[in-house]
Amino acid sequence: MEGLKKYKAHMERCSRCSICKWLPITVVKGWRFAQNCPAIMKYNFHAYSGGGKIIAALGLLEGKYDITEKFVDVVYQCSLCGACDLACKIYTRELIEPLEILEALRREMFMEGRVPERHKRMVEDVRKHGNPYAEPKGRRGEWARGLEIGKEGKPEVLYFAGCTPSYRLPSVARNTIRVLKKAGVSFAILGEEETCCGSTLHKIGAEEAFKEQAKKNVEILDRLGAKVMVTQCAGCYRMFKVVYPEVVRMNVEVLHISEYVERLLEEGKIKFAKEVPLKVTWHDPCHLGRLAEPRPKWEGRWEKIYGHVIISEPRKKVVYGTGGVYEPPRRILRAIPGLSFVEMWRIKEYSFCCAAGGGVRAAYPDLAHFGARERLEEARATGAEALVTSCPFCELNFLEVVEEGGWEMKVMDLSELILEAMGEAPEGLEVRR
């Protein structure tokens, strides 16, 4: 647990206030939808909260107990969504850094082989097949069949589809490509050459395997000489935009599809001509939202001022998650004629995680579905007919729950609405198994 030891002083500063379980206090608007963490909501024991995991890890570091099966579950029944990190930092700024601690804990757990079996297989699958679904590499580009993607000349944009659209939700990639085509954008796709961005590996603590993926992807981008890379996958976006620069040199501008479409709207290349009479709400994916704010590397020391006030020197920039991609999708939705947009209670940097990420859906699907149900209930409470988002992994999770029945709630990818507003008939979300 060497990698965790450097955080011991941070861990010891937890006061067990339990604020990590809630939205920032000032934005709480009622009894319902005030909690921020799917894991503590489902399992209830304090250990499942952000602070609880820190205390559990501190007990381990201090030799009070060894890693048990329950400890593995506690650590991995968490999507590492960062909601606890925001709630805590409002009060503790850089003193604790919950998310950094939880990530370090997972790296240590992975190195000791104390991870769910499913996660071990996932690492093998990504290394062998280039995706965590163990699907053949050769089928990666099948989603684009029949779309007539031109290969002449040097494209303006490289489109990165991601594993989930490639193998599970092809309509997401197809709709996105149709948006680009209709806007007259010159673009390329990677097809069979595309490989996993490594988001899941990063989240489960498989640091070396993640770095291998990062290097592979950056080599491809460099070889193609792409200047702009666009993706609609929130997970891929975060990796390329925020995490890769922490480990490799990036030479490409990374844009989420909502950012790129907004640019195309401003340039007049996209026009929303058709009315879309639908009441929708927007789910901020964690990877596009609070986790998409870059974390500047800090190297400094801790000092005491005014007796015992502890501060970082130079002052460490506190990342609250407010620098995510929040407004572009909202501006797009508001620009669609006939569309009515309503907000949920848990939005932007304090959005509620659907609980699919961080390896949860693979190893603990019941927790992932619990999170999705909770979010769908929030969407339903707004009176919206559709829950719109731009994370295929969230969409997959929501769709699995909606398929259980009893929900009169449509789950939509942002590209569907964009395409429809552009006068084209989009393909609906359908899970390919």
Partner 1 sequence: MPLDRRVYEELEAVVGPENISDDPCILAGYSYYWGAAYAMAGKPLGKWTPFPDAVVLPGSAEEVQQVVKICNKYGVKFKAHSTGWGPWAAVSQKGAILLDLRRMNRIIEIDEKNMYAVVEPYVTAMQLRAEAMKRGLMCHVIGAGPNTSVLASCTSGWGIGATAYTTSHNNRNMLAVEWVTPTGELVRIGSPGSGAGWFCGSGPGPDLKGIFKGYSGAVGGLGVFTKCAVKLYPWPGPTEPKVVGEAPMYGYEIPENCRLYLALFPNWESLNEAMYKIADAKIGFSFWRSCSAECLALLMASLTGLDFSEVYKTLPEVIGDARLQIFLASPSAKELEYEEKVLRAIVKEAGGELRNVAEEPLLSAVKELLFAALVFQNYMALGFSLTGDFFTSFGAELCPDRAIKAIPLAIEVRKKYVEKGLIVMDGKENIWGGPQEHNRFYHWEAAFEYDPADKRSLEAAAELVEESERAALKHRLGVTINASTSPQLAEVLSPHYSNYVEWVRRIKRKFDPKNLSDHGYYVTP
CB 112 within 8 A of CB 67: yes
Question: Which of 256, 433, 234 minimizes the C-alpha distance to 353?
Answer: 234
**Alpha carbon distance 19, 9 (integer Å):** 20
Residue 323 burial by Cβ neighbours in a 10 Å radius (0-12, 13-18, 19+):
middle
**Alpha carbon distance 321, 181 (integer Å):** 33
Residue 257 tokens read as: 């599809």
Residue 173 tokens read as: 């990639």
Least distance between partner 1 and beta carbon 321 (Å): 7
Looking at beta carbons only, is 43 or 240 nearer to partner 1? 43
Least distance between partner 1 and beta carbon 359 (Å): 19
Kindly state the helix (H) or strand (E) to which residue 85 belongs, with its residue range: helix 83-92
Looking at beta carbons only, is 51 or 358 nearer to partner 1? 51
Residue 178 CB neighbour total at 10 angstroms:
19
Residue 352 tokens read as: 């509620």
Looking at beta carbons only, is 191 or 365 nearer to partner 1? 365
Looking at beta carbons only, is 91 or 133 nearer to partner 1? 91
**Alpha carbon distance 114, 108 (integer Å):** 9
Least distance between partner 1 and beta carbon 349 (Å): 6
Least distance between partner 1 and beta carbon 245 (Å): 23
Looking at beta carbons only, is 62 or 430 nearer to partner 1? 62
Least distance between partner 1 and beta carbon 243 (Å): 21
Least distance between partner 1 and beta carbon 201 (Å): 25
Question: Which of 280, 237, 292, 290 minimizes the C-alpha distance to 413?
Answer: 280
Looking at beta carbons only, is 36 or 217 nearer to partner 1? 36
Looking at beta carbons only, is 16 or 279 nearer to partner 1? 16
**Alpha carbon distance 394, 239 (integer Å):** 16
Least distance between partner 1 and beta carbon 2 (Å): 20
CB 267 within 8 A of CB 242: no
Helices first, then strands: H and E counts in the chain: 20, 10
- Chain residues that interact with partner 1, rule: CB under 8 A: 9, 12-19, 22, 24-31, 34, 43-47, 49, 52, 55-56, 58-60, 64-65, 68, 70-71, 74, 86, 89-93, 95, 304-311, 315, 318, 320-322, 349-350
Q: What is the DSSP string of 369-380?
A: HHHHHHHHHHHH
Least distance between partner 1 and beta carbon 372 (Å): 20
Least distance between partner 1 and beta carbon 33 (Å): 10
Looking at beta carbons only, is 44 or 251 nearer to partner 1? 44
Say which residues have a Cβ less than 8 Å from residue 1's Cβ, sequence separation at least 6.
60, 61, 108
CA-CA-CA-CA torsion for 357, 188, 249, 209, nearest 10 degrees?
40
Kindly state the helix (H) or strand (E) to which residue 315 belongs, with its residue range: none
Looking at beta carbons only, is 64 or 145 nearer to partner 1? 64
Angle at 168 between CA 166 and CA 171, to 5 degrees: 70
**Alpha carbon distance 196, 178 (integer Å):** 23
Looking at beta carbons only, is 251 or 322 nearer to partner 1? 322
Least distance between partner 1 and beta carbon 389 (Å): 21
Angle at 236 between CA 343 and CA 368, to 5 degrees: 60
Least distance between partner 1 and beta carbon 422 (Å): 32
Looking at beta carbons only, is 30 or 153 nearer to partner 1? 30
